[in-house]
Amino acid sequence: MRKYLFLLLSLYGIQQGVAQEINLLPQPVSLHQQAGVFILSPQVTIVYQRDKSELRDIALSLQQRIARPTGMQLSLRYSKDNKISRYILLKLNDQADSRLGKEGYTLNVTNQEVSLSANEPAGLFYGMQTLMQLLPAAIESKTIAKELKWSLPCVTILDYPRFGWRGLMLDVSRHFFPKEDVKRYIDQMAKYKFNVFHWHLTDDQGWRIEIKSFPKLTSTGAWRVPRTGTWWQFDEPQPGEPATDGGYYTQEDIREVVQYAQDRHIMIIPEIDVPGHSMAALAAYPEYSCTGGPFNVNPGSKFQGENSLCAGNDSTFVFLDKVIGEVADLFPSPYIHMGGDECNKAFWKKCPKCQQRMLTEKLNSAEELQSYFVRRVEQIILSKGKKLIGWDEILEGGLAPSATVMSWRGMEGGITAAKAGHQIIMTPTQYCYLDLYQGDPVTEPETYSMLRLKTCYEFDPVPEGIDAALVLGGQGNLWTESVPTLRHAEYMTWPRSFALAEVFWSPKEMRDWPGFVKRAEAQTRRYDAARVNYATSLYDPAFKAVQETENGLLITLSTEVPGLITYYTFDNTRPDNFSAKYEQPLHVPKNARNLKVITYRNGELVGHEISMPIAELLKRAGEKK
């Protein structure tokens, strides 16, 4: 009897729209919830109001995403008649709504209908992502999920992005990711309204794109000797050792992934990193170096050798003209990224051809020679109908006239470029480098430096004192020296990219850290259903150690997430919520060797158990800040 009564109350609650919590990410511009719900059933029809291929593709995608976990195959129609009483309507506005731009949308959900409208198909696509987030988390399941009711709360939503460039970069040179992995990564991006996928395709450790004019770029440059362990500490290639680790994308693979991204309203920006970071290219074609080689594709060994293309050799630019020409034909985006970062100029200073170039062009420094190189590459890129993007090092020695600067060494490069009238994309290390630690190094997979989730959320891509119109947007970057698999790429990307998604899309004045944490946690439940990996480091405390003169080591613990309680032990026992509660900075008992901590919220375990050696804290306390 009690079970029957509970079922009736649950059904009544669903029909009245009681307690159906909304946790959208990124947060929309405005959201108003009303009483009631729209219940999905096999009788619901998806209507796209114009017989247009882009609208049909969005409608078909919505149909498929609903069918997989619910088992309901909703019918599709491109016009609505009186026989259709309950429907999801996708429509383009007859007259453009000036508030929405190209990517905004309005979404209205009532008991009888769902109406999604936009000026452009991209807006309908982003509105569909919001619609899916209104459904229970199990909608992301790969198999049929058992739900009592599939329903959407009645809402009115107005939404549009703050920035037009909302990017993530994946480095596939340091570790190769097969095209199916790349597609899966793109799928995850699309759900959170990212619209740029920056594909870092070449570096010292691998050349990943087929160039038919230069087949050795992939037959030689895409492969290195296998190594496992800590990056930059690997043994160098040994004589005769086979190079079996790597891979590359054929031009057909590239076209397939580009189309896959376009179907999800994501623009792919290819990066061919020159003149530095070119050891894989030089291993294939050493004649484009200053010394002539020989070279090996670097497997992750520390090196100080030559890895830059020769700036004094005219054949270098003939090579780049052919490479960039093939790249331009494969990627419809208006941009090609030329890298330009961390160029080792030492060999240029010794190279007779480079020195002659400096003399002929009246260049006074190696930095000006790099600027000359960038301007030559810019002309090649422009000749292919594209625009140049480069890392902020391209500012050194003078900036190419039409270049867009991607600022990674802090905000300064972007500020300098913007003050010179150039468009900028902000991706500073301290806010946007997803390869950094996101929790204490004692418990996290090995990498370097630190970027906590809350720091990502505090990022503002518009520096003070510049024209905001020159800021195209921002981007998170995942370098993969320490990221060998897609599962770990997911772990490093999420939830920090939830924060970046909201930074790039939502109005700045709506920034709300406690609210974001709640929304992010709701999204991780969706990722559980989708079997996507993510980090839970946000629940782990940060350690600060200070060596006091009289009392010895003083340890302060802090947490990012509101409402967490930290428990600890010094006696080598495993802590739980019956252990001592952290309430004030701790002095280390004499002879204690480890501080073990764990976090709870509302009586439930949420954080990792961390065993922090006192010796490590003493080391940190002694480091210069």
- Residues 582 and 569: their CA atoms lie apart, in Å, by 10
Question: Residue 278 in 3-state DSSP?
Answer: coil
**Given the residues 252, 287, 342, 548, the one annotated as active site:** 342
**DSSP at 490:** H
Beta bridge partners of 596: 569, 611
- Which run of H or of E encompasses 412? helix 412-419
326 part of the active site? no
Q: Which of 488, 391, 352, 493 is nearest to 434 (CA)?
A: 493
Cβ atoms of residues 399 and 416 within 8 Å: no
Dihedral sign for Cα atoms in the order 228, 229, 232, 235: negative
Q: Which of 558, 547, 548, 564 is nearest to 600 (CA)?
A: 564
The DSSP secondary structure of 73-142, one letter per residue, reads --EEESS--TT--SEEEEEE-SS--TTTTTT-EEEEE-SSEEEEEESSHHHHHHHHHHHHHHS-GGGG-S
CB atoms within 10 A of CB 13: 13
- Which run of H or of E encompasses 157? strand 151-159
The angle formed by the CA atoms of residues 344, 349 and 354, to the nearest 5 degrees, is 100
> CB under 8 Å to 74, separation ≥6 — which residues?
40, 42, 44, 45, 46, 63, 66, 67, 88
> CB under 8 Å to 224, separation ≥6 — which residues?
205, 206, 237, 243, 245, 246, 280, 296, 297, 298, 299
Task: Give me the active site residues, please.
Answer: 342
